[in-house]
Amino acid sequence: MPTPTPQESTPAPEPIGEGRRVSRKAVLRAAAALGAAPLLLGGRVALARDLPAPGPAGLAPTPDCHDGDEPTVEQTEGPYFKPASPLRDSLITPGTPGTRLTVTGYVFGRGCRPIPGVLLDFWQADDNGAYDNSGYAFRGHQFSTAQGSFSLTTIVPGLYPGRTRHLHVELQAPGRRVVTTQLYFPGEPRNGTDSLFDSRLLMNLRQAGPGQEGTFDFVLDVPQDPTTPPTTPPPTTPPTGTWTAGRAYRAGDGVTYAGIAYRCLQAHTAVAGWEPPNVPALWQRL
């Protein structure tokens, strides 16, 4: 198998200096890359859907999903992309060798609202670090749901000369241009020597039994009105109780949290970390 040669170099990180705002998310990612903070779900590294409440001066949240960062960083397609991949969200069968990996997340626009119907085309190396150039093993595309979410079932890709572990993905929102990027794994020794590696594309990762679970939220440069709900929910119902993790909510359901009333914008099952103030894509303050 040929050794891949980067098709283009990665621009050097923009220096932090006067006139450049340092976002909360950028600080967390930098700390994670240096080993100062665990890049784990339990470590609460910020995702687009995990915006914190207003904090100290200088860290006030912005309408941008990345809390001051740009849209998801773009990277080279590489030499192994193939068009016309199968429509599927699982790239494995029961006998596929390798460490199982599930990657989930959302696709947001610049107004921090989910984008439905986004094409996500994934491809990667197999457990031995080889790409299937004659068929479509470890290649597949899917579309984000009405809630803007996606889920990929695959394996942790193997290593090959010159690169750290990574997943390739192309995204295209309806009527928009194709965005190409790559996702990386925290704690990989080769992250520091791969010329294409970018810490802004690190997934949140945790061990899940014998496999791994990763999360990443994409932000596309799609203008959105942050005051307009992504869907038109039924009329607001009076709050039926306090917000509770583990409860299934429907669009239009009302809850209270910390004494404040919210309306559910999209049906979902509540989980810790998705409290109403943290997820404006799911809850509207009344």
pLDDT in tens, 68-114: 447 999 999 999 999 989 999 999 998 999 999 999 999 999 888 89
The arithmetic mean of pLDDT across residues 200-213, rounded, is 96
Does 23 score more than 90 pLDDT? no
- pLDDT band, very low/low/confident/very high, at 164 (cuts 50, 70, 90): very high
Does 19 score more than 90 pLDDT? no
Q: How far apart are CA 197 and CA 203, in angstroms?
A: 12
Q: How far apart are CA 81 and CA 69, in angstroms?
A: 28
Q: Decide which of 114 and 36 is more confident.
A: 114
pLDDT recorded at residue 113: 86
- pLDDT band, very low/low/confident/very high, at 3 (cuts 50, 70, 90): very low
Amino acid at 266: Q
- Residue-wise pLDDT for 267-284, tens only, equals 778 878 778 887 776 788
Q: How far apart are CA 257 and CA 222, in angstroms?
A: 31
The mean pLDDT of the chain is: 77
Looking at 14-23, 122-131, 268-277, which range is the least confident one?
14-23
- pLDDT band, very low/low/confident/very high, at 47 (cuts 50, 70, 90): low
Strands 100-108, 211-215: pairing kind: parallel
Looking at 72-76, 102-106, 115-119, 240-244, which range is the least confident one?
240-244
- Beta-bridge partners for 254: 263
The arithmetic mean of pLDDT across residues 135-149, rounded, is 95
Q: How far apart are CA 200 and CA 194, in angstroms?
A: 14
Q: How far apart are CA 230 and CA 232, in angstroms?
A: 7
